[in-house]
Structure 1
Amino acid sequence: MTPLVAIVGRPNVGKSTLFNRLVGKKLALVDDKPGVTRDRREGEARLGDLEFRIIDTAGLEEATEESLLGRMRAQTEAAIGDADVILFVIDARVGILPADRPFAEMVRRSGKPVILIANKAEGNAGLAGAYDAFSLGLGDPVPFSAEHGEGLADLFEALMPFFPDPNAEPEEDEAESNKPLQVAIVGRPNAGKSTLINRMIGEDRLLVGPEAGITRDSISLDWNWRGREIKLFDTAGLRKRARVEDKLEKLSVADALRAVRFAEVVVILLDATIPFEKQDLSIVDLVETEGRALVIGVNKWDLVADQQGLLKELKEKATRLLPQVRGAPVVPLSGLAGTGIDPLMKAILQVYETWNRRISTAKMNQWLADALEANPPPAVSGRRIKIRYMTQIKARPPHFAIFGNQLDALPKSYSRYLVNKLRESFDLPGVPIRISLRMGNNPFDKAKKRE
């Protein structure tokens, strides 16, 4: 069945221009005067290899049910009810108006997938307005220009997850859940990476031995753990850069670094007899820089006498030495004995879920208000730094944007305070947290000024 996409938004944001752009014809009347579109207009649209029916709707306005505007609104509400996907359009040059908010709440309550289109986003003024769209809590806005056809590739990517692949047998959500989880095992030479992977997959697939540096290439292996498809990457041992002189070893290190970049979760494997060497900390820095989720595996646990005491000590050290990935799970295991693999996999799946997590804008700003009240930002040159608004702009890893004034003077210590509070309040252990500072007015304040 062909998916149905509805275009909705307040009057004069460019819905009909977008409709014409997607159907490839000037079927809908377009004028600068608001309220030109009254009835629902349907057309056959195509974007890349996506084919769908699309509905242009009247601009949403508050009105009584009996009035013409009220009847137009009822038509739009019916289109929302019928649609499989909703394109909610705002004018990026004007920004968010008070009229946008109740209708954003309406489409949110519909329970349908919503793609936020920041139309008229060409140029710097339009991009600045697109940032305001985060305040609606409808996810990442797609900067777009229906007039000039800019942003079609981004709209295609946003729509694609909601369309069935005609060449694929499983359903879209089933295909996503069966997509292999990319896991790289990294560490110093002779930490036991290959031995561990052999135990995980249940066969001697990788060459192992007492000699350090046996593994040269990053080997990928497909594995199924309790119904979950996993792609494991065995990597060459990473030594201090100053010690890497052999050309072949340099290539092996580069291959290992590439595996980290393509992984989703990285397991750094420590030797329980000599844990947290300086090179281990450097590897964690690399994982954090690349934005990967982290699990700390402590291998050769069968050689430890006081296991309970050492585990407590290692967790304390991880908290102290690795603040950038605070809370990363520490999992004792033995690749040789094959113990600890189930706890390791559970930790991998947990940090992967955390790495993908999104936090609603409403929850984020309630949290921000409490954090600012508990510890206000400092004053600079007699003026207090003002943090007005915060939203999550990405996941994988979680990335947040803070809006306010004089943020260029915000001390790093205060940014660390916010990051630590985020981890604690929203349970984000073991993943890097990114924060971007964006100066300007709070989108909510802009809306209030126009009221």
Structure 2
Amino acid sequence: MLDHAPRVVIIGRPNVGKSTLFNRLVGRKLALVDDQPGVTRDRREGEASLHGLEFTIIDTAGLEEADPNSLAGRMRAQTEAAVATADLTLFMIDARAGVTPLDAHFATLLHGLGQPVVLIANKAEGKAGAAGALEAYELGFGEPLAVSAEHGEGMADLHEAIIAALPEGAGEHAEDDADKPIRLAVIGRPNAGKSTLINRMIGQERLLTGPEAGITRDSIAVDWTWRDHDFRIYDTAGMRRRAKVVEKLEKMAVGDGLRAIRFAEVVILVLDATMPFDKQDLHIASLVESEGRALIIALNKWDLIEEPQAVLKELRIEVERLLPQIRGVALVPVSGLGGKGIDKMMVKAIETYEVWNRRISTAKLNRWLSGVVEHHPPPAVSGRRIKLRYLTQAKARPPSFVAFCSRPEALPTAWQRYLLNALRDDFKLPGVPLRLMLRKGENPFEGRKRKRQ
């Protein structure tokens, strides 16, 4: 047990996002942030709080190889001094750039110091950063944490990693993740009834509504408790097709809606049940999937539907055909005006949120993988069989998996889809995006296991 508040230092080469993470952890903009490398020159300390964990966070200048007497050299000396006095080092790389020779050089330096290190692959939001995050395995610090300091993604995983790396009980306070509200964005085309639905949910005329499309201009956050679950609900402007977004104010409103999707954990896509699955509805659903958010679909104005059972059955078949990338997405009939279906919608929102956060142990995954490969092995390509050697879950939110195989570049896309669909079905992961990343090599943890023995 430490006799002081834990000291955690962030290091990495210039412009990987250290100051952005520092600002997020201290809760305000103490550190200057700019695209130009080298903005931070001195060490900067602040009191950080992360899901009830409290510690001193230290922002440092970007590590560079330089003459000790130069400015860059003195900045590096400041960084090394900060590492020497810290209880934990957060080593950050830029996932979009991948592992650079400078990253590898400073990884060697950190291995030599023998201090506890948590490896962070920043800027990992979307698909652009996924490959670079995986490259970070080769730095020798184990599983990299894929985060976005700018958008706040991966903070729950960072909380767990810091707790695991520090002595037991260090910096912990009573606050629990369960106390945090679930961030819920309500999105859809103009006039689908989003604001009316939220007003009915919270039981008050909190948001302006009317028959005119486009009344809501910006994302409005409303705190709400439903059956002992806390939510922060974001009502967003209706998202039109890009060709129809002409006014500057409306362009800003649509941009605000996109930001709400990125900050949300669960997204409710509200469709007008009398004309569902417009091209724009499908585009919005694809945006939610590409941002990695949990999704449920609310069929609003359901009270206007004749033969509801037959229509619902038909729409469930249609959504599986139109959105195969998020198979099993919940489809819930609701009425914003009458309040019908809101309880069922919220039950589905919580269930989907739990699936989105789900973690599966590596042991279970590899027992499962051996059976899957035996039943339906990857095809031979150019006469050579592809061997699947190891599967692990890299992160949750959304569930993301790394498969190590002999020839990742040759594994057919159809077989990758088969593997993801099997994961979804066998581990009960409906309605959330899944990610699969391929790496070449053997089990990356075999060496680590031998060292521990």
The verdict on a shared fold, with TM-score over 0.5 as the criterion, is: yes
Give the equivalent residue in structure 1 for 2:258: 257
**1:156–1:309 CA distance, 2 compared to 1 (3 A):** closer
**1:158 aligns to what SS in structure 2?**
helix
Q: Which residue of 2 aligns with 1:182?
A: 183
Secondary structure of the corresponding residue to residue 384 of structure 1:
coil
Q: 1:248: how far off?
A: 1.1
Deviation at 1:447, TM superposition (A): 8.6
Report the alpha carbon displacement of residue 445 of structure 1 after superposing the two structures with TM: 7.0
Which residues of 2 match residues 331-346 of structure 1 at below 5 A?
331-346=332-347
Tell me the TM-score normalized by structure 2: 0.65
Q: How does 1:181-330 map to 2 (within 5 A)?
A: 181-330=182-331
- 1:13-52 to structure 2, matched below 5 A, reads none
How far residue 172 of structure 1 moved from its aligned partner, in angstroms, is 2.9
Cα 1:204/1:383, change in 2 over 3 Å: same
- How far 1:177 sits from its partner (Å)? 1.1
Measured in 2, the distance between the counterparts of 1:430 and 1:304 equals 24
Partner of residue 100, structure 1: none
Residues 347-358 of structure 1: pairs in structure 2 closer than 5 A? 347-358=348-359
The Cα offsets for residues 170-222 of structure 1, whole Å up to 9 and x where unpaired, read as: x233xx21211100000111100000000001001111111111111111111
* Equivalent residue in structure 2 for 1:130, among 140, 151, 162: 140
User: What are the Cα deviations for residues 369-394 of structure 1, in whole angstroms up to 9, with x where unaligned?
Assistant: 11111111111111111111000010
User: CA 1:424–1:3 in 2, change beyond 3 Å: closer, same or farther?
Assistant: farther
**Equivalent position SS for 2:140:** helix
Q: Work out the CA distance in 1 between the residues paired with 2:447 and 2:323.
A: 40
Query: The residue matched to 1:270 in structure 2 has which SS?
Result: strand
- Structure 1: segments with no counterpart, 5+ residues: 5-46, 53-91, 94-114, 119-123, 135-139, 143-153
Cα distance between partner residues in 1 of 2:245 and 2:158: 46
The 1-side partners of 2:55 and 2:308 are apart by 60
Structure 2, unaligned runs of 5 or more: 5-45, 49-53, 57-106, 109-115, 120-133, 147-156
| Residue 172 of structure 1, aligned match among 164, 171, 175 | 175
Taking the aligned partners of 2:135 and 2:199, their CA distance within structure 1 comes to 56
Letter in 1 for 2:405: G
Amino acid paired to 2:244: R
Q: TM-score, normalised by structure 1?
A: 0.66
Alpha-carbon RMSD: 3.5
| Secondary structure, counterpart of 2:197 in structure 1 | helix
Residue 434 of structure 2 corresponds to: 433
Q: Residues 196 and 386 of structure 1: is their aligned pair in 2 closer, same or farther, counting only changes over 3 Å?
A: same
Q: Distance in 1 between matches of 2:255 and 2:378?
A: 42
User: Separation in 2 of the partners of 1:444 and 1:206?
Assistant: 52
The structure having more radius of gyration, on CA atoms, is: 1
Residue matched to 2:92: none
1:377 maps to what in 2?
378
Check 1:228–1:444 CA distance in 2 against 1; reply closer, same or farther (3 A cut): closer
In 1: Cα distance, 2:47 partner to 2:221 partner:
33
Kindly state the Cα deviation for residue 315 of structure 1 after the two structures are TM-superposed. Answer: 1.0
Tell me the matched-pair count.
Answer: 327
In structure 2, what residue type is equivalent to 1:377? Answer: P
Contact 1:48 1:156 survives alignment (8 Å): no
Give the C-alpha shift of residue 443 in structure 1: 3.8
- Note if 1:159 corresponds to 2:162: yes
Is the alpha carbon distance of 1:206 and 1:164 closer, same or farther for their aligned partners in structure 2, counting shifts above 3 Å? farther
- CA 1:285–1:130 in 2, change beyond 3 Å: closer, same or farther? same
Q: Which secondary structure does the structure 2 equivalent of 1:286 belong to?
A: helix
What residue is the counterpart of 1:151 in the other structure? none
Spell out, residue by residue over 1:256-306, the C-alpha distance to the aligned partner (whole angstroms, 9 max, x if none). Answer: 111000000000011110011111100011001110000010000100111
The answer (yes or no) to whether the contact 1:190–1:213 under 8 Å persists in 2 is yes
Secondary structure class of the residue paired with 2:313: helix
* Contact 2:145–2:158 (8 Å) recurs in 1: no
Shift of 1:442: 2.8
